[in-house]
Structure 1
């Protein structure tokens, strides 16, 4: 059901309310539009020692059935059908009153959200007014986004108008769900950017979700638009949510264009690094092609640390022996591969886990036993391989490569106190 009322003046509902929820019948229908006046007394997360107003009806049996049916959509719909429109505010008041030190249990919070969605479908104005009167800004934002999602199922433009109105009335940054961003992307880049822009606010990190894109989706326009949004947002502000796979998906469809964009050096969470490009390119290229591609980027005139860091990150993204061997063949066609193996391994010492560990083991396996021993024992205490956080990963690798316990103790000496 479409919301016929866009909340331009919603702040009027939130002025001067107390901390808990109570429901009082009215003769004229009240601001809830269904015969009740909503008077807030408790929000769903706050702790209150005050006794809530006693509901006129015992809802505990219904609570229990709804908890049992929370994974049964048909059963839950039947439970919600037992509530008349005028009973929903009282039901929510009774449910909110169950909040303890940690707020509502996740089961009860789920029931509250589902009940509010039902109320919104029947009476958007009443449901919005109830939420806007909550004391917790975080609760308001989370529940209002649920309404926006509901609206988007039938009317994306109406949902965006609703979201714009909420953003004018609610403090803090809206966390935009990926489902809404997907709906925007399904229409066009401009709509996707508008959805993402609604999540601009004081930065506490960004979340990213992989989306699906139409065959004619304009990745360049999307990436440039998101970069511009963040650049113009102001210091300390960022997008709460954005697609995490724009660059990787573009690399699958047009790797040259995607790589050219990476070379521009623009910054965007989840979408601007060489590793994100490789993540997508690896799905259409052979391991040897990836190795050659990384070799083409390996510029001897570049700072040594930077060029090995870049190659290490890219090769670790695919973590494949054929890719590593092709890289070494291309950068050292006339021999001298050991210099590059050592260069990569030294850069690897600040990373661990997943593809990093696999690629490190591949490189170590390419060295002979004496070269490994000399690499690990050179430089004494300053040797980067002696860092404690990588030692545990390296010991089993060296064991598999045939080094004795005595050799490993010399190659990876424990520090005092470890």
Structure 2
């Protein structure tokens, strides 16, 4: 028990008398807020027994006690950090309680902010088209040890997330988080769906599994026709998981929603306090460049077109999310290292190899099925076929892919 805890007066966050917070029935934690530390909350958030002068069985004289553990609140650009002495776990909980509900105290941002390369993972399947979680541990080790990748994006386009059931997506999220523990820096779970309610269920589940963050694409059958409509969709999903970072996944090529992201970002943190950034998968570098120019200091801006990565980095991208980083992560990391040093001649040489490969694959009809087959060829991990309506990559295409990989020395 923490030094400042008093057994007679401990309250769980769901007991705090604040309507918006009380509506969030999905917030669960093993920690509870000790009675004295409730005085650090605004009056509207305090349980009745902590209000000065209110008499209760635990506090018959209505005295306002002081917490013996002094907490410092330091407002910084990235939000509030609390630095307690050893023994009190309330600061962490206070941030979880306050951050989704107050614009004055921002959500706690992870110490290692999301940046660099993020691999958009494939979903391993058996030959019978059932998900195969047994190889995910091997997959994680390959990304970390061979490709130097420590961030992943789960259940997105590359993973055929929209073709999976809700239960399958939950199972995959659990396994990726489990296998990535102490190995990966960030596990971002894509929770987008045609149904907002399904997205909320997946968001709640991702938060319970301690995902590093969640991402959402725009609904794409009935499409939002304005920035306001899109913002409301994102806000609804984000509200279901108010304790973890939220990212918008912009991919107009698939969703058909080509609203300007720079307009979406303007003031979005007021509507979605947990908003952390964008996965920008579009060749519209004008829109992306404006996003970087105006919001780089406020949001994480991840670029999603692998063949244009160097251009995005020059513009100021925080990092990138892509499928080819699963098997060309080492090559792309070298390119980023050269760019960081200012050696753009070497960086361009590496980008040219990446572009040559993607160009060659595009002429073969390069899609998720061919991409998945490429990952199996390079890594040796049996990822299986894609799920319908995608068709399996045939042997003739696989032979051409293998030849291209060897020609470009991606596979020796």
- TM-score w.r.t. the length of structure 1 is 0.27
Bigger RCO of structures 1 and 2 (CA < 8 A, at least 6 apart):
2
Instruction: Compare the two structures and name the one with the higher helix fraction.
Output: 1
Instruction: Compare the two structures and name the one with the higher strand fraction.
Output: 2
- TM-score w.r.t. the length of structure 2 is 0.28
